[in-house]
Structure 1
Amino acid sequence: MDCIACCVKRHTYKVFKLRGQHLTVNLVEVIDPDERGYIVATKLLSNEDWKRIQPGQLMIFSQGNSIVISGNE
């Protein structure tokens, strides 16, 4: 199902494997241990805990944190 969803990624995940793809991202090489961030996509990319963003909903991110969620919650 097509959607917009986000997934928080922290350094502790180490390797992120994408669903249905032969692609992995080694987070140890990409971010520092004290960093985190979100992946936002139009399809769920892995079997992890993705939060769906509803139509009309606004999410604002700052410094690796979701700071505002408004609209259809």
Structure 2
Amino acid sequence: MPPSWHSFVEDVILKNAPLVNTAMRHASVLKENRQNIMVVKNNINETIESVDKGKKKQGGTDKLCLSVHNEILQGISIR
């Protein structure tokens, strides 16, 4: 690479370093948010299973309760 090109590349990298750092921080926050959403989703799934088991012991399933839980799950579904 010619020296002037090398200098240009260094300048571009140095000028964009703050943007890259910001993007990396945002990516980290998004990853953490996704993990938190998965925890909430798993908690809801466990609640659904628990309600279902409890209702079966009582002789039936509370379809309205399960329907509400399923709507919540659809609202936070991760694709």
TM normalised by structure 2 equals 0.18
From the two aligned structures, give the one with the greater strand fraction. Answer: 1
TM normalised by structure 1 equals 0.19
